[in-house]
Structure 1
Amino acid sequence: MSDAPVTHIDPVAFRADPYPTLAQMRAHTPVTYVPELGATLFTRRDDIFAQEKRTDVFSSHQPDGLMTILMGENMMRKDGDAHQRERKILFPALSPRTVRDVWLPAFTAAATRILDDLAPHGDCDMVRDYAMPVSAEALKLITGLTNMEAAEMDRVSQGMIDGCANYTGDPAITAQCHDCTASIDRHIDAMIPALQAAPNMSGLSVQMQGGLDLKATRANVKLIISGGQNEPRDAIAGTIWALLTHPDQLQAVQDGRATWAQAFEEYARWISPIGMSPRRVAQADHVLGVNLAPEDRVFFMFSSAGRDEAHFDTPDQFDIFRDTGPAISFGAGPHFCAGAAASRALITQVALPLAFERLNGLRLAGETPFVGWAFRGPTKMPVEWDS
């Protein structure tokens, strides 16, 4: 078992706002065992950046991990050749060229339709009514599950994310996750004949074309959904909130002195939609003064890395003009997010500019609460505009 210094947390307070606790960890116990999570946390950016690449020790293969148990063994839970083989098969669906030529025009058309319906109303919940359907419609295309309603895509994604973060073992959360994965399987089964008849560039289709077995294909579609719905949804709404609460920086983007990409990258550093990535210790190791034993659980805290004082001045402040280069919001090692190009295109070339272009005088109309530490985002965001 890990002999790292022990840090106790209040799980409720940590879910409400993990950043003060993570700052204390970085300052005093940068590698620390948290009994409430049953894991050793790495909290400094450079340590995470270096150790994430040591897959012989910090393995993504976690047969007893929550993601594997609940969603199946996807490529994120494989290392080495097994991971690279599936990543290569899936790559055509998520490559920068496919994103540019296939998905970006479709993303734009879907977001435009959503705004056509939304704009006359003059108010909405930005999370539920804009960020959620924009993200879901994009994900329906990328996965190939065009037979799934946007609200169901959001529901099943949230159910899987809640299940994978259920380290306290709440049985109701586990049951909900199983219900969500069963829904995904039904939608996959319904789409297979259509995609056999008319293949396309979707994740389901390219895996079928690449000869990947159905069990692995199902698991990878669930992985795409778990990482491709809530995180872009939360980043779209969250970045809009950040800009509305920092009007001088919003003005800089609208004046052309900064870009939507700068705003998104800074938001992802500041309030990391994906806060951590788990690893299984595959072999005993002594690292950074800590002894780790086989089967220990490690969490690489990307959210903490984004606020590491060694790389970012005033890290608790939102500043689109800072250099976000050291941030590792999408990961740093061989498991760097395969959907990063699609996510960046959707958020910075479609969702953000179109929202501010179409919703004239967009402004906040109430409180915007944030929750989560493994995954973090706003739960609601009331806004209004001049219709």
Structure 2
Amino acid sequence: MSNRTMDEAARVFADPKAYADDVRLHEALTHLRANNPVAWVDNRPYRPFWAITKHADIMAIERANELFISEPRPLLATAAADDLAKEQLAAGTGLRTLIHMDDPHHRKIRAIGSDWFRPKAMRDLKVRVDELAKRYVDKMRDIGPECDFVTDIAVHFPLYVIMSLLGLPEDDYGRMHKLTQEMFGGDDDEYKRDGGSLEDQLAVLLDFFAYFSKLTASRREHPTDDLASAIANGLIDGEPLSDVDTVSYYVIVASAGHDTTKDAISGGLLALIENPAELERLQRDPGLMGTAVEEMVRWTTPVKEFMRTATEDTTVRGVDIAKGESVYLAYVSGNRDEEVFTDPFRFDVSRDPNKHVAFGYGIHFCLGAALARMEMNSLFTELLSRLESIELAGTPELQATTFVGGLKHLPIRYSLK
């Protein structure tokens, strides 16, 4: 049985500003988990969808990857943006990343980059990551006693890691950061390009295409030992990747590969500042760093949602979902589900088990999860071993978004050894 009456609380999913207001957001999500866990949302300018707020339902849908597929609506966008994306894909200048794909094509494309994120590759990369962590904690010391941790540190550290992995020149890092900010920040007045219109969003995409098309040509002519070369020269069934698939691969690695980690790092530090007893526990017992990193990822949930579309009539928690209808997987809600997490609104650096869904689940589990964990572990291990004091020096600001986001400003006052 389907209830298509809009619950007012469900409007948060169709309001980018809700993600910039933690109190309002979590009040709505808590209400929906208890009273309307499969909620109908019909709120222009978005096409209608079902919002899934319970952890168990999110996991079940992720597992049923033939019944619930990514195409044609892998994430929440306005109807006009959805239509434009289809037009651009048809024209050969759109995005079709791993998050847009379904098996078997998804599995084949994913395999091209997967070796670069396996344990051996992570071990080989750890020396570089540790070096960069020390560099950025040294930078904190040099620019202290105050900084905006997001713009001065959290943005740059994971960006340098992912650009090093791709093998891109350091001169291009600033451009890549700006394009990523504009792509994920289209709903935020501070980040969006110009007026934030569809044309402006398209211009960001075309800039990505121009940059990575040139990179592809270069790596095919002169292969190198980096991830960019592996992507450029990757084969699917003996054939080179299409231009769309090649550029899309770069975009998802270069943008999501650093922006989500930035959000987890900055939000994780804020959680430690707001929970000084947990900060003290972690400094006293660095062996808790592994569980602390998982808790930071759960707490911040940088990827707010993915969407899936039903290939057949089905039901979720007794609610009828018709073939062709879309479901919105509310990861932020799943990660505060009272049935899964004891005292879910408590930040606990020793939380175990911690079955968060911040990296997704199933075939779409985040390709770079191990890298993100390693970066966070390295940075916080370096920072907390040298941190003598820390406090807020202003009001933290969250980004307006419906997809990827977190803190955009975190002013802090601190002293370091």
| TM-score, normalised with respect to structure 1 | 0.89
CA deviation vs aligned residue, 1:62-84 (integer Å, no higher than 9, x gap): 17965854751122211121110
Question: Matches of residues 1-387 of structure 1 in structure 2 within 5 Å?
Answer: 3-8=3-8, 9=11, 11=15, 14-15=18-19, 16-17=21-22, 18-36=25-43, 37=46, 38-62=48-72, 66=77, 69=86, 71-101=94-124, 103-122=125-144, 123-146=146-169, 149-163=172-186, 172-192=196-216, 194-196=218-220, 197-202=222-227, 204-211=228-235, 212-256=241-285, 258-348=287-377, 350-358=378-386, 360-371=388-399, 372=401, 374-386=403-415
Moved more, 214-223 or 366-375: 366-375
- 2:53 aligned partner, one-letter code: T
Query: Cα distance, 1:32 vs. partner?
Result: 0.5
Answer whether contact 2:134 2:379 (CA < 8 A) is retained. no
Query: Cα distance, 1:118 vs. partner?
Result: 3.8
State the secondary structure of the residue aligned to 1:79: coil
In 2, distance between residues paired with 1:62 and 1:2?
23
- 2:52 aligned partner, one-letter code: F
Answer whether contact 1:185 1:218 (CA < 8 A) is retained. yes
In 2, distance between residues paired with 1:64 and 1:319?
32
In 2, distance between residues paired with 1:362 and 1:151?
28
In 1, distance between residues paired with 2:336 and 2:266?
21
Query: Cα distance, 1:146 vs. partner?
Result: 3.0
Query: Cα distance, 1:323 vs. partner?
Result: 2.1
User: Between the two proteins, what is the percent identity of the paired residues?
Assistant: 24
In 1, distance between residues paired with 2:131 and 2:202?
33
- 2:7 aligned partner, one-letter code: T
Answer whether contact 2:295 2:354 (CA < 8 A) is retained. no
In 2, distance between residues paired with 1:164 and 1:293?
30
Aligned residues: 381
In 2, distance between residues paired with 1:319 and 1:100?
27
CA deviation vs aligned residue, 1:346-376 (integer Å, no higher than 9, x gap): 111x222223345543332122123445334
- 1:105 aligned partner, one-letter code: V
Answer whether contact 1:271 1:376 (CA < 8 A) is retained. no
Which structure 1 segments of 5+ residues have no match? none
Q: Which portions of structure 1, spanning 4 or more consecutive aligned residues, are displaced by more than 6 angstroms?
A: none
CA deviation vs aligned residue, 1:256-295 (integer Å, no higher than 9, x gap): 2652222221122223111211112222223322222233
In 2, distance between residues paired with 1:223 and 1:134?
18
Answer whether contact 2:213 2:247 (CA < 8 A) is retained. no
Answer whether contact 1:92 1:206 (CA < 8 A) is retained. no
The alpha-carbon distance between structure 1 residues 148 and 50, as it changes in their structure 2 partners (threshold 3 A), is farther
In 1, distance between residues paired with 2:73 and 2:63?
20
State the secondary structure of the residue aligned to 2:6: coil
In 2, distance between residues paired with 1:344 and 1:185?
29
CA deviation vs aligned residue, 1:170-201 (integer Å, no higher than 9, x gap): 97253333232223223323433553424223
